[in-house]
Amino acid sequence: MENITNQLFPHKLESVISMYKKYPKRILPKGAMVTRIAPSPTGFFHIGGLYMALISERFAHQTKGVYYLRIEDTDKKREIEGARKIISISLCKYGLSPDEGEGLGGIERGIYGPYCQSDRKEIYKVFIKHLVEIGRAYPCFCSQSELDEMRKMQEEAKVRTGYYGIWAKWRDADKNLVKEMLDNNKEFVIRFKSTGDYKKSFSYKDLLKCSIEFPENDIDTVIMKSDGLPTYHLAHVIDDHLMSTTHVLRGDEWISSIPLHYELFNTLELEPPLYGHISPINKIDEYGHRRKLSKRKDPEANVIYYDQKGYPRIAIIEYLMNLANSDFEDWRNKNPTSHYTEFTLTFKKLAASAGPLFDEAKLRDISKELIAKMTATEIYEDVVNWSSEYDSKFKDVLLSDKKYWVNAFSIERSIKKTRKDIACWSEIKRFFYFLIKEEFAKPDWLKFNSPLSKNEISDILLQYSAEFSINDLQDEWMNKIRRIAIKFNFAPNAITFKDNKDKYRGHVGDIAQIIRYAITDRTQTPDLYQIIQVLGEQECARRISFGRNFD
């Protein structure tokens, strides 16, 4: 066996003991959790990944522990260029930068690294070699076509598929044959030699699920591929041990691998971490079916979708907190000004919210509430940031006059009840279109519904411009409009009109509507007086005279 081991691992490797010395147990306060997120760089960053990152970060930090990022890139065929960078940028944008692991600019922090699995190849080899030495791993030379053939035979024989028992061709192969294969440089993988019995059951308690009974693992799983890189199963066992992970919170597609993972930990005489398997985020699709958010089918599965729309990042985080622990919403209502990190996330509530339903309408509501609480300056800064990435023309407009735009975003913000019209920054330009002096065009009066003739509208606007002063206080300004209303036989207020419908043609609101339309090209806007104050005397006068020209 020694010869074979040397042939399998011809380069000098460190010992298992030296590995344990190199990665000592972390010294942390009692109860502190060490969590991690371990994404594979295989495409865009999934909203489910962000959800798991938030949960892992919260549990670590609320217990004064450590939350780190490990890039799991051992499947080189599935790796997508640039995906690694997207992971660190997304985490940073959402305030979930890890304590250890790759940060922005590809810079790693932490003493338990390297934090990227392909850079840990030699570490895994130490343990794989050790497993071979103790007789718990062996090379397998089966080609893909042989494995396919075996599977076909198993299906025909109606037996369980997989590399186990009598089907495990190279498990007890003759040593001379193995040596010959190696001498001839035949391609091989290394398989774990399971001692489990499928007929026996294995009981397991997940952090987030009820106790589960599994059959023991008896599959001789590949632990090292022909390219020398380990598979996830072995790599995560080594890494989570060496990096002192206490709680592995991962997607529940891994739960069926638990018997294998426990067997690997036991074989290496290591204590397994606690596992919590998180159910994926669901959605109701166009056919009314509940299903997992799909990477391929649903644009909203990609974190970039929320960025493009310009949801404030804190809204996404608060929404995900809601999905994770349903009592977060209650807490938020009782603590409207607290930071979300003051809420304590629990496994109990997380377990109860299995397979949470993603609902963008709910996200919009949360976002509107949060935007309503922001100051105009905060909004300005966020919108500038968003538009520098997604609307550079609008960014230039915003940067050309900060004071003007902060005033604009202050409209109906200083009064007790702030408007809640905006859910994301991509909506703000359309909403405030009438404040973009550079883009404002002449209103189309053909679309304006009014009992008044063109000439009367023109007269009203003329009258208004004669009376208008930017220095008028709101009451004064309103009184001026009332006077115009009376002149044109409109009631000075809605109640008077209601009681005397045959006496008046309408009421003051109809006159204000004409002014609103001339100034904003809209029939519905936030407070007109405030809009006028922001636009200023000159711009208002220009629009009013513009509005009188119907051709």
Name the site residues for ligand GLU (rule: CB under 6 A). 38-40, 72, 232, 236, 248, 250-251, 254
Give the whole-angstrom CA distance, residue 459 versus residue 250. Answer: 70
- Max alpha carbon distance in the chain (Å)? 112
Nearer to ligand GLU, 39 or 506 (CB): 39
Nearer to ligand GLU, 38 or 452 (CB): 38
Sign of the Cα torsion 450, 453, 458, 464 reads negative
Dihedral over alpha carbons 269, 273, 274, 279 (to 10 degrees): -120
Give the whole-angstrom CA distance, residue 517 versus residue 468. Answer: 16
Gyration radius of the chain's alpha carbons: 33
Whether 63 contacts 31, CB under 8 Å: yes
Nearer to ligand GLU, 175 or 295 (CB): 295
Number of neighbours of residue 397 by Cβ within 10 angstroms: 19
Whether 252 contacts 280, CB under 8 Å: yes
Number of neighbours of residue 475 by Cβ within 10 angstroms: 9
- Look up tokens 């509507």; give the residue: 513
Nearer to ligand GLU, 275 or 464 (CB): 275
Nearer to ligand GLU, 252 or 472 (CB): 252
Give the nearest distance from C-beta 26 to ligand GLU in angstroms: 18
Nearer to ligand GLU, 245 or 426 (CB): 245
Whether 140 contacts 190, CB under 8 Å: yes
H-helix segments, 166-302: 175-183, 232-242, 258-267
Nearer to ligand GLU, 52 or 168 (CB): 52
Nearer to ligand GLU, 116 or 248 (CB): 248
Whether 114 contacts 120, CB under 8 Å: yes
Residue facing ligand GLU at closest CB distance: 250
Give the whole-angstrom CA distance, residue 145 versus residue 153. Answer: 12
